[in-house]
Chain A
Amino acid sequence: MAASIQTRGLRKTFGSSVALDGVDLTVEPGRILGLIGPNGAGKSTTLNAILGLTQCEGELTVLGLDPWAQRDRLMNEVCFIADVAVLPRWMRVCQALDYVAGVHPRFDRAKAEAFLARTTIKSSSRIRELSKGMVTQLHLALVMAIDARLLVLDEPTLGLDLLFRKSFYDSLLNDYFDGDRTIVVSTHQVEEIQHILTDVVFIDRGKIVLDCSMESFETRYAELAAAPEHLEAARALKPIHERQVFGRSYLIFDGVDRDRLAALGEVRTPSLADLFVATMAPVAAGRTA
């Protein structure tokens, strides 16, 4: 089966600032990719290019289509939630259902209504009357009722409390994801999505700095809580990052044999958040910290 998303040398500049500087990305069907990066790293630009919202240099194919030139066709197969609550505030919930049912051939209204029945959202409410969490629930209900092959979520849970965030991702995983669909999600809240991802990409200053599956993530990266007497030996193995917590040194290694590290202290798999910090901050900065 062809890749859901394939990019080669994707480049985008806004005036003199470079938003994307040669992004190569391949996402196979049935994967859940986390796109993680600091503010202004190019996450949204990448997603906008995938969604045909912005024109880029380089090669880009999404579900076999050119998103910019064939956007109208692509939108039958792709769904997205943009980075902030963007549902029109004047609309009523029932109107949103009517409208999406009227324009989207793959929208299953009964499914959306079943999902909404589990919330406290009333179908006669205007969207401006709903809390931010409820608006996100509504948007999720609309999106999950669309039988799309690719779902793109750009900071979907920004500004939501922990309970909403958790139920958002649980719904996504339990009620929506079926192994054929592809999901790309960008977020700052790295820890919360770590367990649902199959792949992770770190992006910084328009470049991809890490691209690996979660399976290989666990074998590739190791975090060592170094015993003080072995610290120098550990440093000799070229950690990609070092930090100190309560006087103890934690070092993150890329592709170093775990048995070898085990002799120097406690070894575990680093969290995505720790690896994110390690990747974004150069080694030198970590040392001096």
Chain B
Amino acid sequence: MSASMTDAGATAAPHAGHAVRPFYWSVRREIWENRGVYLAPLAVAGIVLAAFLFTLRHLPGQIQDIVSLSADLKAHPGTPTAALALEKIALHKAMAGVAFPYAAAAGGLMMTAIVFAIFYALASLHAERRDRSILFWKSLPVSDLTTVLSKATIPLVVLPIATAVVALATIAVMLGLATAVMGAGGLVPSLLWGNIEISTLAISIPYGLAVLALWHAPVIGWLMLISAWAKRMTMLWALAPPAAICLFERLALGTSYAWDFLRHRLAGGFSVGFTPRTGGPGVYGVEHPDPAHLLANPGLWGGLVVAAACLAACVWLRRTRDPI
């Protein structure tokens, strides 16, 4: 999807024996078929922006609260009275309230990406067998490996990039609107901008999406494997084996290692890729990106090996299995 790839496509002459780029066109074909990869984030961004417009009327009041509370606290340094402690809590709450919509926008878009990725992966190798269009795809000189990799590229690369771009653009628009509201209310925009850690958000969103893609890669691989294997009811086949293992372990052994393992894999991406920040005001819920902690985690590498094994199995299944 880089600019150089597009240029090369424009100059490739359509003569017999002309240059081809099966992987690039396979990825484009996936995007044609699954326009949700960019429409879903855009739709969620639209909802977030519409809701944000409603909250904007509170913004000048919130900022004024922060200003007066800060001034109050500064005027009485070092006097730990109960009233001041309450004011301090109120200040943090007000600051978090101002920062919340930006983090919520990012969080909402990440959730959208996860849901989209699940449904995409479950249909990726199943739909073409069900409607028999696999016979058309297989009539062209595109290998099963290229096809499977191009399909895995959608949830692991294209979707995170699309989500990051939409999230950052959404936050930029939100900040622009908020700044305009502040200006109209006679408030200095730096009061807002100083309260939201723009650079942290700008780094955390793409980094967080990359962490999720890497951490969830084995889950995507598993879902694609089910979609290449199952004849029907892909969702059921994807959920049943792990659920059965967890249930068996709980009943037979009374332990829940399998469930803990699964939960860590499904929900633990951020705890591996970020370290919790200690105190201080700032963006609600955002923690410090910590790539070293991520790369040192054996679970990440084990997961990537599982993902590769699943994709290899997908290639083999697509090769050998008949249309449904």
Contact = CB atoms under 8 A, between A and B. Distances in A.
A103 B25 contact: yes
A247 interface: no
Given A75-B139, A103-B142, A82 B132 contact: yes
B33 A90 contact: yes
Interface string A64-94: 0000000110011001111010111111100
Given A72-B141, A99-B25, A99-B29, A107 B14 contact: yes
A122 B16 CA distance: 25
A119 B12 CA distance: 27
Contacts of B133: 86-89
Nearest to A88: B133
A54 B17 CA distance: 27
Contacts of A260: none
A110 B21 CA distance: 19
A110 B14 CA distance: 8
B106 to A, nearest CB: 31
Contact of B139 (A54, A79, A108): A79
Contacts of A72: 141, 143
A91 B33 contact: yes
Interface string B114-147: 0000000000000010011111101111110000
A81 B139 contact: yes
A115 B320 CA distance: 34
Contacts of B17: 105-106
Contacts of B234: none
Interface in A104-134: 104-110
A102 B132 contact: no
A159 B14 CA distance: 33
Contact of A86 (B15, B135, B143): B135
A103 B16 contact: no
B9 interface: yes
Given A91-B32, A91-B33, A100 B140 contact: yes
- Main secondary structure on chain B at its contact with chain A? loop
B179 interface: no
Nearest to A96: B136
Which residue, of B26, B28, B135, has the highest number of chain A Cβ atoms within 10 A?
A: B135
A177 B222 CA distance: 46
B136 A75 contact: no
A88 B33 contact: yes
Interface string B22-64: 1011101100110000000000000000000000000000000
A102 B9 contact: yes
Contacts of A84: 132
Nearest to A100: B140
Nearest to B15: A108
Contacts of B14: 101, 107-110
A88 B34 CA distance: 13
Given A82-B132, A88-B136, A109-B14, A103 B33 contact: no
B139 A105 contact: no
B243 interface: no
A80 B139 CA distance: 6
Interface in A137-152: 139, 147
A3 interface: no
A87 B16 contact: no
B136 A103 contact: no
B18 A105 contact: yes
A78 B231 CA distance: 29
A176 to B, nearest CB: 14
Nearest to B137: A88
Contacts of A95: 29, 32
Given A86-B136, A87-B133, A95-B29, A102 B21 contact: yes
A75 B140 contact: yes
A92 B143 CA distance: 23
B180 interface: no
B20 interface: yes
Contacts of A81: 139
A159 to B, nearest CB: 14
Contacts of A209: none
Contacts of A55: 320
A53 interface: yes
Interface string B139-157: 1111100000000000000
B16 A106 contact: yes
B267 interface: no
A54 B320 CA distance: 7
Interface string B307-324: 000000000000010100
A103 B20 contact: yes
Interface in A29-86: 51, 53-55, 71-72, 75-76, 79-82, 84, 86
Interface of A: 51, 53-55, 71-72, 75-76, 79-82, 84, 86-92, 95, 98-110, 139, 147
9 contacts: A72-B143, A76-B141, A86-B135, A88-B33, A88-B131, A98-B28, A102-B24, A104-B140, A105-B19
Interface of B: 9, 14-22, 24-26, 28-29, 32-33, 128, 131-136, 138-143, 320, 322
Given A82-B132, A102-B25, A105-B16, 15 more contacts: A72-B141, A76-B141, A79-B139, A82-B135, A88-B136, A92-B32, A98-B28, A102-B22, A102-B24, A102-B28, A103-B20, A103-B25, A104-B140, A105-B18, A147-B16
